Structure 1
Amino acid sequence: MALKHEPTVPYHSAQDALRVLETVAQHSSGVLDTEIGRRTGLDTDRLAILLRMLRREGYVEQVADGAYVSGAALGRLASAGERDQALHEKVQQTIDRLRDTVGAAIYLSRYIDGEIHISQYADGPATPAVNEWVDFRSSGHATAIGKSLLGQLDHDGRRDHLSRHKMARLTSRTITNERLLLSRLGAQPPTVPVLDLQEYAIGTVCAAVPITAGSSVGCLALSLPVEHAHRLRRAADSLNRGAAPVLLSMAI
């Protein structure tokens, strides 16, 4: 199965952040932002944004003279023995913070061995998770998560998935015509969030953005009660901007 990867905003941010981390790692006694900028070619404003994100995530720390050194979170992720647990905890911290920032339940999903998996999520009393009344694995045609993941596959990969999962009508808004769904997936720009406007469940709207590391296909998604639908596009844009730390954690 071939993948259809195109660079997204989170991808570019994560790649730039990795260049910054590599530069910092090469200077065990610390390196100033001016030198980081010179070595990476990043302009002052762009670098400042990335350094703020990296400090918040614990990947770099600033020492007394203003220089940057590698942070504790980076050390934990780089340790082979602790990596899986450290990655799970780091991603959970990040999506918990996204939940609070965006004001919506947040989901991290992966496409593994031809199936949709929700690997982690963050909800709360004020940001309830969607009620999984139909297994997410078999309802990819109706969810923002499913459409984002399928959108990252090539045409044959999408048809293979749909051949194994019947496109059931879950609400009056659900697309059940394969040709129509494939057409919409093919026309979806990778940099624009995929939306689910009560296609999976009446009373819930969702959005998803792709986060692809290496050959894996993944996405970050949010859900809101329909009475907050007016916030969906703004929340989706915030989700897109906030996806870079998750992608970065997976790429380290």
Structure 2
Amino acid sequence: MSGPQSVDRALALLDAVADAAGPVSAKALARRVGCSLSTAYHLLGPLTERGHLVRGPRGYALGPRVPALHRSFQRQLGVHSAVGTLLSQVRRATGAETYFTAYSDGRITVVDTTAPPADDGHPFPPGPETRAHATAHGKVLLAQLPRAARRRYLTDHGMARFTARTITDAERFESEVTGVRHRGVAVSVGEADPHYTCVAVPLPGTPGRALSVSLPRAAFLRRRDEVTGALALAATAFPTVPE
């Protein structure tokens, strides 16, 4: 196997290992991506040699190259040391998990978070944000785009319904982001996850970047003004991300 299909299969194997709870055997990986065992071994070899994967007694796991790729990804998005400090400060001030999210080239990504890596139940893990229209950080970032670019994003990514509260109508979403621009803050109460509320603000001077927190709906209803105020204050104090 060679060419684009082999590249696609290799990336599918890497994704399968990343999505697994622990090491995965070559046989299980072959089943998951729909290829023969010999093809799986053929593609797993280079991934292991390059450090993207490691092979142990129980199967394949992510390798030492992965953290370096994540650091490079953050650097290219302008994530400097102040971002980590900012997230920690907001976490302490609000008691809520905090996120740094970015829009780039038609994609929205949760780049960094205070949520523990082992917290699989958390609603907004790092990585591609596939529910942007239903999240506060997604609303903030989409509100910054020209209308045509925003419509194109929604057309490309869809407006799936995740809960009864999810906005799935494009015109209603336009009204929502108009309010976000006017208020300078976005709120998603159970739109992406029925149990969580997400609150987000843009980072001044850094287009395409948002700061957000998530907390259980009941806690948000009790502490709405406190949480929103702390988030807005932290964003205002954040230094401009250098080009």
Q: TM-score range by the shorter chain?
A: 0.5 to 0.7
Residues 102/124 of structure 1: CA separation in 2 closer, same or farther (3 Å cut): farther
From 217, 220, 223, the counterpart of 2:208: 217
SS of 1:141's equivalent in the other structure is helix
What pairs up with 1:235-250 in 2 under 5 angstroms? Answer: 235-246=227-238, 248-250=239-241
Distance in 2 between the 1:128 and 1:205 partners?
A: 17
From 141, 150, 158, the counterpart of 2:133: 141
Aligned to 1:200: 192
What pairs up with 1:105-120 in 2 under 5 angstroms? Answer: 105-120=97-112
Distance in 1 between the 2:132 and 2:86 partners?
A: 25
Unaligned 5+ residue runs, structure 2?
A: 1-74
* 1:187 positional shift: 3.3
Aligned length: 166
Q: Does residue 85 of structure 2 align to residue 93 of structure 1?
A: yes
Q: Does residue 147 of structure 2 align to residue 155 of structure 1?
A: yes
Aligned to 1:228: 219
Structure of higher RCO (CA pairs closer than 8 Å, 6+ residues apart): 1
Distance in 2 between the 1:124 and 1:100 partners?
A: 15
SS of 2:112's equivalent in the other structure is strand
Unaligned 5+ residue runs, structure 1?
A: 1-83
Q: What amino acid sits opposite 1:99 in the alignment? A: R
Q: What amino acid sits opposite 2:131 in the alignment? A: S
Residues 236/130 of structure 1: CA separation in 2 closer, same or farther (3 Å cut): farther
Q: Check whether the contact 1:116–1:146 (CA below 8 A) recurs between aligned residues.
A: yes
TM-score, normalised by the number of residues in structure 1? 0.58
Identity %: 28
Q: Check whether the contact 2:201–2:210 (CA below 8 A) recurs between aligned residues.
A: yes
Q: What amino acid sits opposite 1:184 in the alignment? A: E
Aligned to 2:166: 174
Q: What amino acid sits opposite 1:123 in the alignment? A: A
Residues 209/147 of structure 1: CA separation in 2 closer, same or farther (3 Å cut): same
Aligned to 1:123: 115
* 1:227 positional shift: 2.5
Distance in 2 between the 1:115 and 1:212 partners?
A: 20
CA RMSD of aligned residues (A): 2.9
Q: Check whether the contact 1:109–1:120 (CA below 8 A) recurs between aligned residues.
A: yes
Q: Check whether the contact 1:108–1:119 (CA below 8 A) recurs between aligned residues.
A: yes
TM-score, normalised by the number of residues in structure 2? 0.61
Residues 228/212 of structure 1: CA separation in 2 closer, same or farther (3 Å cut): same
